[in-house]
Each structure stands twice: as structure tokens, then as C-alpha cells.
């Protein structure tokens, strides 16, 4: 599965000197005056899973010599948030209708939150969005920073399974020079992108995962739909979160527990780069875990355990959580 992002590498299109940034969570288009060092800072923040949209936007200089007078940023999620400034805008398709989100002089920027977003394009105001669909000549991008006249995204492209790699073309323009060329990938797969992120973070390369050791990235509660875990999840009868700093908010999942076997906040599922870690939050009645191949065990109060796909977690009153490898 890709990020769903794509862009035009046509150097003759007006606005081809905009800087386009793509990570799992954020897409951004920044005007030509944005310096390489600003882009470097923004990339570092955008690639840090512990930092949220407010940290990213807060780091964009809005005054002084380094001021970024025009940009458009999208934060992906159930509610997509668009932040635009100056000559940057977002053309967004919701329910088949395209609307333009622009700043119209709002200082320092304008914010729009939209649900049910199907497609969008980020870029300069002087641009007609068309129908926002991906054309054959547009290039997909899974992560990094490139030059281009606009940056697109579509939910179809994000959901589409990745088949055999498309032939790699050289980018029409060289990547920004201060970046690791591997970070500025054009058609790389997720593994390559993850590897480039690890290099960026100064970590050793990971061994390629085999299907048997696929890491846990999602859960399913009873017969509800599976959900990917990209922020800490708290499950309980009446859950609450501990203190959170950095702007990435936890998900709270409430379950029914007529006999009150489930504690108010019973367990935490925390995403790590290696997979999910389950913690019993000193629940009253404990947590029973069945790991594939190792039988059933009971977590001690407050105990943590890395969990693999196929694990079943019983927190009481018939509430069972299954751990999955989300693709």
C-alpha cells in the first residue's frame, strides 16, 4: 500500500520550483522562497512520529528573512486538516465536488478540516486543478522531498495494492542537494522508504521481514472493522489518556462491560517500530493473552508484552481484541 501521493515532474509547468514533501502522515507544498535548511527542518519534524501537525506548522518561519510566504499542507486522517498560507492552496474533492481551500489573506495561515476527502492537490494558486485524478505521466511518491508544480493525493491510490514495481524513471530535476538521495526517492517501495528513514535517524538497517515475522500494526475489537495503530490506543469501559506532549493524540476505544469486569482504562496498545506493545494498566481483573504457539497467559498488573499478529487479548465481559498485520 502506498501513501497515495503523486506529483508532476514536468519542469516546464509553471510552479515547478515548489518544494513537495511527503511522509505517511503529511503532504506539503512550499513556495520557491523556502530555503533548503527550512525544508530540512520540516522534513525532520514530519518524519518524527511523535510530533503532530502543530509542531510542523509551528516550525515554519512566518516572518524575517527565512519567512515562507506560501505553502499548503495536508495532514492525513479520518479528518483531513489543510493549512494554507499566501499563494498556496489546496483543491479538495469531497463527495465528487472540488472546492478550493485558500488563505485569502488570513494571517498567519488558514485552517480547514474536512471529512470524506477523496482526492486533493496542493500547490500554487495560479493553477487549474482539473479533476484531480492521477494521469499516466504523473509519478507516485512514497516519501521524501522533490521539486514539482503540485502534489496530488487520492484515496484510491492509497488503498490500491502495490503490484510489480513500475519502471523507475529518473526525476526530471535533481533532488534538493542537501538531502540523502535515498530519502528523495521517487518510486521506492515502503521497505526502501523505511530504510531511508532509518538512515535518516541514524539507525542500523533492519533485516527484511519474512512473512512469518511480520510485525503487528493493527487490531480488531470483536466484530468491528480492523484499525491501524499509529498512535497509542487506550481501551476500557470509560477510557482516559495519560499526559501527552508533542501533538499526536491517543485513540480512546470504549467497550461495553455490563458486569464491570473491564476496568475504566484497561489496556494500552503502543506502536513501536518493531510492532505493537500491549500493557495492562493495572486493571482490576487482569488481561488474558493467547499468543500463537505459546498458549494462554495472564498479564501481571502493569505488565507489558510485545504482541505478534494472531494474538488474542481478553479484557473481560466478552471483549476480545485480535492483533493483526495491516497491509
Return the number of the residue (64 or 295) whose C-beta is nearest another protein: 64
Give the 3-state secondary structure of residue 229: coil
The count of chain residues that interact with another protein, using the rule CB under 8 A, is: 37
DSSP state of 56: H
Give least dist CB 195 to another protein, A: 29
User: How many C-beta neighbours within 10 Å does residue 31 have?
Assistant: 20
Q: Which of 16, 66, 98, 264 binds another protein (CB under 8 A)?
A: 264
Q: Which of 100, 201, 240, 327 binds another protein (CB under 8 A)?
A: 240
What are phi and psi for residue 208, nearest 5 degrees?
A: -65, 130
What are phi and psi for residue 138, nearest 5 degrees?
A: -75, 150
Give least dist CB 66 to another protein, A: 14
Q: Which of 116, 181, 209, 242 binds another protein (CB under 8 A)?
A: 242
C-alpha 180/C-alpha 199 separation (Å) is: 9
SS (H, E, C) 157-196: HHHCCCCCCCCCCCCCCCCCCCCCCCCCCCCCCHHHHHHH
Give least dist CB 35 to another protein, A: 18
Return the number of the residue (62 or 133) whose C-beta is nearest another protein: 62
C-alpha 239/C-alpha 216 separation (Å) is: 23
Whether 85 and 55 have beta carbons less than 8 Å apart is answered as no
Q: Which of 16, 17, 69, 108 binds another protein (CB under 8 A)?
A: 108
Torsion sign (Cα): 213, 206, 142, 188: negative
Q: Which of residues 50-79 bind another protein (CB under 8 A)?
A: 52-55, 57-59, 62-63, 75, 79
Query: What distance lies between CA 166 and its chain's CA centroid?
Result: 23
Grid coordinates given for 300:
501481571
Give least dist CB 53 to another protein, A: 5
Residue 199 binds another protein, judged by CB under 8 A: no
What's the CA angle centered on 251, arms 57 and 113, to 5 degrees? 40
Give least dist CB 62 to another protein, A: 5
Q: Which of 253, 281, 289, 323 binds another protein (CB under 8 A)?
A: 253
Return the number of the residue (107 or 212) whose C-beta is nearest another protein: 107
Give least dist CB 24 to another protein, A: 16
Residue 81 binds another protein, judged by CB under 8 A: yes
DSSP states along 74-106:
EE-SSEEEEEEETTEEEEEEETTEEEEEE-TT-
Q: Which of 126, 213, 238, 284 binds another protein (CB under 8 A)?
A: 238
Strand partners of residue 140: 6
DSSP state of 12: T
Residue 226 binds another protein, judged by CB under 8 A: no
Give least dist CB 161 to another protein, A: 27
Give least dist CB 268 to another protein, A: 13
Q: Which of 107, 205, 210, 225 binds another protein (CB under 8 A)?
A: 107
Residues in the site for another protein, rule: CB under 8 A?
52-55, 57-59, 62-63, 75, 79, 81, 83, 107-109, 111, 113, 234, 238-247, 249-254, 256, 264
Amino acid at each position: 500500500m502506498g501513501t497515495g501521493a503523486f506529483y508532476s515532474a514536468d519542469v516546464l509547468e509553471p510552479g515547478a520550483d515548489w518544494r513537495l514533501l511527503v511522509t505517511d502522515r503529511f503532504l506539503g507544498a512550499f513556495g520557491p522562497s523556502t530555503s533548503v535548511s527550512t525544508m530540512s527542518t520540516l522534513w525532520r519534524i514530519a518524519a518524527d512520529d511523535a510530533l503532530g501537525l502543530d509542531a510542523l506548522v509551528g516550525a515554519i518561519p512566518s516572518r524575517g528573512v527565512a519567512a515562507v510566504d506560501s505553502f499548503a499542507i495536508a495532514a492525513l486522517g479520518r479528518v483531513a486538516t489543510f493549512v494554507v498560507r499566501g499563494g498556496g492552496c489546496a483543491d479538495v474533492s469531497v463527495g465528487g465536488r472540488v472546492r478550493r481551500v485558500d488563505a485569502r489573506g488570513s494571517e498567519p495561515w488558514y485552517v480547514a478540516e474536512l471529512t470524506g476527502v477523496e482526492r486533493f492537490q496542493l500547490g500554487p494558486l495560479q493553477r487549474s486543478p482539473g479533476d484531480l485524478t492521477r494521469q499516466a505521466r504523473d509519478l507516485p511518491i512514497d516519501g521524501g522531498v522533490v521539486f514539482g508544480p503540485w502534489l496530488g493525493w487520492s484515496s484510491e491510490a492509497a488503498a490500491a495494492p502495490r503490484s510489480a514495481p513500475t519502471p523507475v524513471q529518473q526525476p526530471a530535476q535533481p533532488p534538493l542537494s542537501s538531502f540523502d538521495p535515498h530519502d528523495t526517492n521517487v518510486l521506492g517501495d515502503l521497505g526502501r522508504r523505511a530504510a531511508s528513514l532509518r538512515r535518516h535517524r541514524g539507525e542500523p538497517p533492519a533485516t527484511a521481514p519474512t512473512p512469518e515475522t511480520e510485525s503487528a500494526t493493527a487490531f480488531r475489537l470483536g466484530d468491528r472493522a480492523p484499525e491501524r495503530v499509529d498512535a497509542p490506543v487506550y481501551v476500557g469501559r470509560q477510557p482516559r489518556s495519560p499526559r501527552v506532549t508533542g501533538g499526536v493524540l491517543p485513540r480512546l476505544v470504549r467497550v461495553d462491560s455490563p458486569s464491570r469486569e473491564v476496568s475504566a482504562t484497561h489496556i494500552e496498545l503502543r506502536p513501536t517500530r518493531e510492532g505493537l506493545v500491549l500493557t495492562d494498566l493495572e486493571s482490576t481483573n487482569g488481561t488474558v493473552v493467547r499468543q500463537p504457539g505459546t498458549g494462554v497467559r495472564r498479564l501481571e498488573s502493569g505488565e507489558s508484552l510485545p504482541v505478534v499478529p494472531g494474538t488474542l487479548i481478553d479484557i473481560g465481559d466478552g471483549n476480545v481484541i485480535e492483533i493483526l498485520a495491516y497491509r
